[in-house]
Amino acid sequence: MLRLLNFLFHYRAFLTFLSLEIFCAWLWVGNSQYQNTIFFNTSNRMVAEAVGTTHRISEYVSLRKTNEELSEENAQLRTLLLQLNRVEASSLPGVDSLVRYEFVSARVINNSVARFKNFITIDRGEDAGIRPGMAVISTAGAVGKVKSVSAHFSVITSLLNIDEQVSSVISRTGNFATTQWDGTDPRTAQLLYVPRHVKLLAGDTIVTSGYNAVFPEGILIGTVKEARLNKEALFYEVRVELAQDFSSLYYVRIVRSELKSELDSLERVTIGKQP
pLDDT, tens digit only, all 275 positions of the chain = 677 777 767 777 777 877 877 776 666 656 665 555 555 555 555 655 665 566 466 555 556 666 665 666 666 666 556 555 554 544 444 334 334 678 888 989 999 999 999 999 999 999 999 999 899 998 889 999 999 999 999 999 999 999 999 999 999 999 999 999 999 999 999 999 999 999 999 999 999 998 766 788 889 999 999 999 998 899 999 999 999 999 988 889 998 876 666 655 655 667 654 44
46 phi/psi in degrees, rounded to 5: -65, -40
pLDDT of residue 90: 47
Contacts of 180 (CB under 8 A, 6+ apart): 162, 164, 165, 166, 189, 190, 192
Contacts of 121 (CB under 8 A, 6+ apart): 108, 109, 110, 111, 153, 154, 155, 156
pLDDT of residue 14: 76
Alpha-carbon distance of 151 to 123, in angstroms, equals: 10
Specify the pTM: 0.64
CA distances from 156 to 124, 130, 178, 254, 261 (A): 11, 11, 19, 10, 19
Alpha-carbon distance of 259 to 99, in angstroms, equals: 9
pLDDT of residue 5: 72
| Ramachandran region, residue 174 (left: φ > 0; alpha: ψ -120 to 50; beta: rest) | left
pLDDT of residue 11: 73
CB 256 within 8 A of CB 102: yes
Of 65, 44, 225, 216, the residue nearest 143 (C-alpha): 216
Quote the Cα angle for 192-198-200, to 5°: 75
CA distances from 121 to 64, 105, 111, 194, 231 (A): 18, 13, 6, 32, 43
> Rounded to the nearest 10 degrees, how much is the dihedral formed by the CA atoms of 119, 120, 126, 130?
-90
Long-range residue pairs from 170-175, CB within 8 A, at least 24 positions apart, any chain:
170/194, 170/198, 170/200, 170/204, 170/205, 170/206, 170/224, 171/204, 171/205, 171/206, 171/207, 172/201, 172/204, 172/205, 173/198, 173/199, 173/200, 173/204
> Rounded to the nearest 10 degrees, how much is the dihedral formed by the CA atoms of 156, 161, 165, 169?
100
Give the pairing type, strands 142-149 and 135-137: antiparallel
CB 149 within 8 A of CB 130: yes
The alpha helices in the chain, defined as continuous H runs, are 2-10, 12-31, 33-61, 63-89, 260-273
